[in-house]
């Protein structure tokens, strides 16, 4: 049997403690993410998070040096997950446009399940904090790059309007994933989750106006 010892080729066997540490860190991110989505950055208190996770406040600070960095870690994880999702869709989905639609739908479902919108817009203070976080910038940069590639493909395939610049589409999609309409609709309309998401995605890509819309030259 492969002793714990430093034999090469042995998968890194983590100590029980280290595993616990990682599990707790994930739990903290989950709790903070939920709070962030429900009450916002300013109103979420470190005491509340600690209480929700069931750990002491001091232990919270063993994982994250400050409230800002904790919130940044939440959004960082979400950015990474979104990117992973996009990668997965690159294999699954049939066309570039289908990938984009599926990614927006996925993001909206995440939010219905209680996730934060992937946007600093929640709080200007948080936005400011993130602007100086290199890890977050990097993760968002990667995500943007993947999306931009997808947008370019969709345009080349004639699936996206040619008169809109790529950056505009990118920002629009980002914003649609964080759409405040989701909250408005949840409060006002009686729709199932799936209907809600389908309508929002369709509204985003197909528009609200009736079919004959632009006088596009062929």
Task: With contacts defined by CB under 8 A, name the span among 25-33, 57-65, 77-85, 158-166 that binds a copy of itself.
Answer: 158-166
Measured distance CA(31)–CA(51) in Å, rounded? 10
Q: Is residue 59 a contact residue for DNA (CB under 7 A)?
A: yes
Give exposure, 46-66, as e/b (b: 16+ Cβ within 10 Å).
eeebbebbebeeeebeebbee
Nearer to a copy of itself, 80 or 181 (CB): 181
Whether 53 and 27 have beta carbons less than 8 Å apart is answered as yes
Q: Is residue 42 a contact residue for a copy of itself (CB under 8 A)?
A: yes
Nearer to a copy of itself, 63 or 99 (CB): 99
Q: Is residue 17 a contact residue for DNA (CB under 7 A)?
A: yes
Q: What is the dihedral of CA 68, 72, 74, 75, to 10 degrees?
A: 140
Between residue 186 and residue 205, which ones bind a copy of itself under the rule CB under 8 A?
Answer: 188-189, 191, 199-200, 202-205
Residue 188 near which of DNA, a copy of itself, none (CB within 5-8 Å, type-dependent): a copy of itself
The tokens of 98 are what?
């289908």
Measured distance CA(48)–CA(77) in Å, rounded? 21
The residue count of the chain comes to 218
Q: Fill in the per-residue mask, 92 to 121: x = in contact with a copy of itself (CB under 8 A), - = not in contact.
A: -----x---------------------x-x
Of the candidate residues 20, 84, 164, 193, the single one contacting a copy of itself (CB under 8 A): 164
Helix residue ranges per DSSP H, 93-159: 96-112, 124-131, 134-156
Q: Is residue 68 a contact residue for DNA (CB under 7 A)?
A: yes
The contact set with DNA (CB under 7 A) reads 15-18, 20-21, 24, 43-47, 54-59, 61-62, 65-68
């Amino acid at each position: 049997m492969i002793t714990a010892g430093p034999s090469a080729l042995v998968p890194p066997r983590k100590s029980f403690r280290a595993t616990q540490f990682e599990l707790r860190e994930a739990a903290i991110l989950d709790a903070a993410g939920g709070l962030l989505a429900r009450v916002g950055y300013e109103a979420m208190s470190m005491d509340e998070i600690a209480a929700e996770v069931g750990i002491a406040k001091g232990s919270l600070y063993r994982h994250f040096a400050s409230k800002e960095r904790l919130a940044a870690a939440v959004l960082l994880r979400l950015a990474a997950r979104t990117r992973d999702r996009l990668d997965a869709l690159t294999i699954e989905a049939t066309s570039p446009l289908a990938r984009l639609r599926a990614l927006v739908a996925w993001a909206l479902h995440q939010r219905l399940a209680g996730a934060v919108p992937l946007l600093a817009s929640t709080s200007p203070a948080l936005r400011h904090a993130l602007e100086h976080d290199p890890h977050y910038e990097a993760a968002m940069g990667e995500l943007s790059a993947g999306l931009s590639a997808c947008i370019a493909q969709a345009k080349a395939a004639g699936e996206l309007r040619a008169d809109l610049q790529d950056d505009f589409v990118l920002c629009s999609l980002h914003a649609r994933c964080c759409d405040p309409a989701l909250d408005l609709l949840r409060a006002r309309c009686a729709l199932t989750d799936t209907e809600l998401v389908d309508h929002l995605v369709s509204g985003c890509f197909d528009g609200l106006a009736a079919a004959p819309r632009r006088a596009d030259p062929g």
